[in-house]
Amino acid sequence: MRQVRHLFAAFFLLLLLPQPAIGAGVDADAQQSASKIIAGLGFPDSQVGYVVFDLGDGTILAEQNADRAFIPASLQKVPTMLYGLERLGPEHRFSTRLLAEGKIVGGTLIGDLYLKGGGDPFLTNDDLLTLIGQLRTVGVTKVEGRFLYDESALPSLTELNPTQPRAVGYNPGLSALNLNFNVLDLAWEREPKTGALAADAVATSDKTKVSSDTVTIAMLPASRGEKVPYLPATSDDGEGWLLSPDLPKKGKVRVPVKRPALNAANIFRQLASQQGISLPKPEGGVTPAGSRPLAEHQSLSLQGAARLILRFSNNLSAELVSLAASSRGGMPVASLREGGERIVAWLRQKVPQGDWRGLLLDNGSGLSSLSRMTARQMATILFYGYSLHRIGLDFPALLSKPRWQRDMAKLRKKHGKGLEVRGKSGTIYFSRAYAGYLDTKSGDRVGFALFISDLAQRARYDAAMDVNQVAAPPGAKSWTKRAKKLERELVSLWLLSF
């Protein structure tokens, strides 16, 4: 049976290679309807590429610009999760540990305490409290030596992509030790008469909120006529933010953490103090070999993490999976770009029949306008994901239902309850992508990959970008709204046509 599956996979992938003409399986009516929808929403044909394919026999049901390269945006998280699941295993768990050198005497650790990060994408305040509880259980209430944070397992970055806005929550720093997705809730309010600023930076998780005592907040000296609402200003001691005098009197934003390991250690120290454990000011270091383990927190399984990453599209989490998978076997990577390159190499090795020419993954999350992918390449990736049932992984189940459930309810009422969509979307200014699996009106399951990109408009935006701005460029929101409508109408068409 395994040999039959491999032969079927090879046959299918050959069908996904570039074709001289549209295959016999293409539905002409559906193709014509798609063209009308695209034109009706004002998109040139050159800006839209898609492939719809039958997962049963490999027939290509519809295609347009199948081999034209587009920006995948967060759709890139699909191959990243497949890469991580196969290299690390669905049950892989990330570990965060407390280790010590020295002896515990009368509740005091006479020596150094290490908080060692293992790249957990989902570590929260609540998890730190669990570690603190374990520390109390082994009898530690004070550290007489040093308190060190160890981020040596992975590269340390102050932002995921230096060409993206600096002050947005989706572009935080990264290290082996991260907390609450490396974001803080920054709130401010001015005293009405004096205009004095009162501000707070809060580290938030499901059950625990704590105001960071190491985040400095100040005003920009004066309005410079620039609409820069807030700027990061990191220091040796922690995080800092400069707020514009032109901000509203009251507000709240989610801002990125630029020094994640130091931030996590500072929050740990603050939470430990609340639990009666006295720690010195944290400093960076590497855990010596032979250090004694005191406490450990393990993340949820990678399969569970992948479901959340594909649903909520957190960039930091995807990059951590990419780096962990790339580093497996003692082959560490030095950059996110190198992690993306290893995903491409893995695809070439796993699916040598695929046409991977021009595939560029600038990182593991899709937070880049440099990445490029074709609809046919995405279709090949989706088929490979679908084939992982051979190792007990139902990859389509890890993907999410679309947000337009009201429209889906109308379609089901009119055309049958079996209609279903499972997919992953990606959005970056002037690019939108959506791909996944459809349970169609005929009862078949098909795969689809759809890309919409205005590469010229994106290039103009990149050339003029100010990384200190957080506002969307002119026209970006309306473009994305139109692209989402096109996506919804094409997917609905395919649900009913195949």
Q: Quick one: pLDDT at residue 6?
A: 43
pTM for the whole thing?
0.94
399: CB partners within 8 A, 6+ apart:
310, 422, 423, 424, 436, 437
Q: Is pLDDT at 462 greater than 70 in this prediction?
A: yes
Q: Is pLDDT at 445 greater than 90 in this prediction?
A: yes
Q: Is pLDDT at 144 greater than 60 in this prediction?
A: yes
Using pLDDT thresholds of 50, 70 and 90, give the confidence band for residue 222: low
Q: Quick one: pLDDT at residue 18?
A: 45
Contact between residue 405 and residue 35 where contact means Cβ atoms under 8 Å apart: no
DSSP type of residue 401 = P
Q: Is pLDDT at 302 greater than 80 in this prediction?
A: yes
Q: Is pLDDT at 481 greater than 50 in this prediction?
A: yes
Name which of 22, 25, 12, 29 is nearest 64 in CA terms. 22
The H or E element spanning position 280 is none
315: CB partners within 8 A, 6+ apart:
74, 160, 170, 171, 365, 366, 367
230: CB partners within 8 A, 6+ apart:
167, 186, 241, 242, 243, 244, 247, 253, 255, 470
CA distance 238 to 262: 7
Q: Quick one: pLDDT at residue 120?
A: 98
Kindly report the length of the chain. Answer: 498
* Amino acid in the structure at residue 224: R
Extract the runs of DSSP E, i.e. beta strands, from 7-57.
48-54
pLDDT digits (tens, 9 = 90+) for 2-47: 344 444 444 455 555 444 333 446 788 889 999 999 999 999 999 9
Q: Quick one: pLDDT at residue 25?
A: 67
Q: Helix crossing, 2-16 with 375-386: angle to 10°?
A: 170
First to last CA, the chain: 28
pLDDT digits (tens, 9 = 90+) for 248-280: 889 999 999 999 999 999 999 999 999 999 999
**Mean pLDDT, residues 290-296 taken together:** 97
Sign (positive or negative) of CA dihedral 252, 254, 257, 261: positive
**Mean pLDDT, residues 291-295 taken together:** 98
Using pLDDT thresholds of 50, 70 and 90, give the confidence band for residue 221: confident
Q: Quick one: pLDDT at residue 16?
A: 53
Name which of 114, 227, 296, 287 is nearest 472 in CA terms. 227
Give strand pairing partners of 351. none
CA distance 76 to 165: 20
Contact between residue 183 and residue 386 where contact means Cβ atoms under 8 Å apart: no
Q: Quick one: pLDDT at residue 219?
A: 82
**Mean pLDDT, residues 120-127 taken together:** 98
- Name the more confident of 287 and 5: 287
- Name the more confident of 417 and 11: 417
Q: Quick one: pLDDT at residue 4?
A: 40
pLDDT digits (tens, 9 = 90+) for 152-183: 999 999 999 999 999 999 999 999 999 999 99
Name which of 405, 389, 432, 435 is nearest 79 in CA terms. 435
449: CB partners within 8 A, 6+ apart:
50, 51, 375, 376, 378, 379, 382, 433, 435
Q: Quickly list H helices, 387-454.
A: 395-398, 405-415
Using pLDDT thresholds of 50, 70 and 90, give the confidence band for residue 194: confident
CA distance 324 to 81: 11
Extract the runs of DSSP E, i.e. beta strands, from 33-170.
48-54, 60-64, 95-105, 108-116, 142-143, 147-150
Contact between residue 65 and residue 38 where contact means Cβ atoms under 8 Å apart: no
* Amino acid in the structure at residue 104: I
Helix (H, G, I), strand (E, B) or coil at 486: helix
**Mean pLDDT, residues 293-301 taken together:** 98
**Mean pLDDT, residues 191-202 taken together:** 86
Q: Is pLDDT at 454 greater than 70 in this prediction?
A: yes
